[in-house]
Amino acid sequence: MRGADGRYVVPLETAPVLLDTDDWKSAYFRWFKRPGSSRTVLVWRRNPDAEDRARFGPPLDRLPERVEGRPLDHGTVGIEESLEPHRITIRTDRPGHPLLVKVSYHPRWRARTGERIYLASPGFMLVVPKGRKVVLEFGDPPLVRLGHMSTLFGLAVGLAVAVGRPSRRRRTPVPSVEPPAHSGATLARRSTLLVAAAAIAWTATAEIGASFPPLLYEKGLQLYKQERFEEASRELERAIDAGPLSSAAVHASFYRALSAYRSERWSEAADRFEKMIEEYPESPYHAEARYHVGLCRRNADDRAAARIAFRAVTEHFPDSDWAPRAAERLAEIAPLETGDNDNERT
C-alpha cells in the first residue's frame, strides 16, 4: 500500500478507548465506517477489571458519537518485530507504551511474556509490554489438543479394522435379464423426492429474498419513484431492520426520510434525516440530508433551527452542490428576532 510503513507492530499515537458492550462486532464495524476512525483504537473487554480501568480509563457501554483518545508521546518508541508462522516476537525500548499488532485477533494467541492480549479495532491485537521483549504464540488449548488426539485415534482404529479384515472371495452375481417389478414404483418415488426438493429450495430462496436488504431497498426505491410514499417507507424500513449495518440500509434510511419529506410531514422527516446522519456517518447523503433538515425546519416555522442546519451545510460541506443552495435559503430567511438569536447561540 502506498504510504504504508510496512510494519505489523506500531506504537499508538493516542490512548485506546475501552469498550464494554455485548455486541462488539457491530460497534467495531460502525467505528470502522466512520471517517477518520483510525486515529483512535477501540479496545473491547467484557467486564474489565481494575487493571484494565487503570490502563485505559473508565469503560464505555456503547460506541460514542465521537471517539477521541488522549494523545501519547509515540515519536521516540523504537520497535523491532519478527514474524514466524505461529510466533510474533516484539522488542521495544519503552515498556508500558501500548502497541497495535496488525494481525487478526484469536483467543488462541497467548503472550509467553505475561501480557494481556486485547481485541482491538477493527479486529487486531493490542498489547502493553511489561518489559523490553514480548513473545506472542498461536498455541493449541486443551480442547484443540483433545480433538487432534481423537482424530488420530479414529484414524488408527479405522486403519486397524481395514488391515485386519479377512478377505473373502465372493461370487459375481448373474445380472437379471428382466427389470424388477418395483422399478416403476421406485422411479415414481424418486421423482416425487426431486419435486419435493425443488419445492423446498424454491421456498427457501423466496424466504431469503423476502429478507434480503438490497432487494427490499430496491423494492422500496421503486415505490418511492412511483410516489407511493407510505408503501415505500414501509419497505425501506424493512430493509433497514433486515440489515442495519449493510450499505442498503444507508441508502434506505435516506429515502425513508425523503418519503416523509415528500409527504410534507416536516417534523418526522427532519427527525429521520438527523437519525440517518447520526447512525450512518459514512453516508454520502450528509450534505443533502442537512439541507433537507433546514427545509423541514423552515417549513415548520422554526427559523432558528433552519438557519443552524443551512449553516452546517455551508460550513462543513463548502464544496458540495448543496452549499450554494443552503446559502440561498439563508439569504431568504428574514433576520431573526432577539429571542431567536439567543436560541441559535445556545
Q: For 316-332, write each residue's pLDDT tens digit.
A: 999 999 999 999 999 99
Cell digits of residue 218: 430496491
Residue 34 lies in a domain: yes
Q: Is the pLDDT of residue 345 over 50?
A: no
Residue 87 is classified by DSSP as E
Boundary-marking domain end, from 104, 120, 138: 138
Q: Do 221 and 308 fall within a single domain?
A: yes
Task: Look at residue 73 in the predicted model and tell me its pLDDT.
Answer: 78
Residue 174 is classified by DSSP as P
Residue 156 lies in a domain: no
| CA pair distance 272, 309, nearest whole angstrom | 14
Residue 88 is classified by DSSP as E
Residue 171 lies in a domain: no
Task: Look at residue 145 in the predicted model and tell me its pLDDT.
Answer: 73
Q: Is the pLDDT of residue 261 over 60?
A: yes
Q: Do 322 and 231 fall within a single domain?
A: yes
Residue 182 lies in a domain: no
Q: Do 218 and 133 fall within a single domain?
A: no
Residue 152 lies in a domain: no
Task: Look at residue 239 in the predicted model and tell me its pLDDT.
Answer: 95
Report, as an integer, the average pLDDT of 78-93: 93
Q: Residue 113 phi/psi, 5° resolution?
A: -95, 5
Q: Residue 153 phi/psi, 5° resolution?
A: -65, -45
Cell digits of residue 14: 493516542
Give the three-class secondary structure for 213.
helix
Range of the domain at 42: 9-138
State pLDDT tens for residues 185-205: 665 566 566 666 655 655 544
State pLDDT tens for residues 116-157: 999 999 999 999 999 999 999 998 767 777 887 889 889 888
State pLDDT tens for residues 9-42: 999 988 999 999 988 988 888 888 877 666 789 9
Cell digits of residue 243: 440489515
Q: Is the pLDDT of residue 97 over 50?
A: yes
Task: Look at residue 108 in the predicted model and tell me its pLDDT.
Answer: 92
Q: What share of residues in the chain are helix, strand, coil (percent, to 5)?
A: 50, 10, 35
18: which residues sit within 8 A by CB, 6+ positions away? 43, 44, 45, 48, 52, 53, 56, 57, 58, 59, 60
Task: Look at residue 342 in the predicted model and tell me its pLDDT.
Answer: 45
Q: Is the pLDDT of residue 4 over 80?
A: no
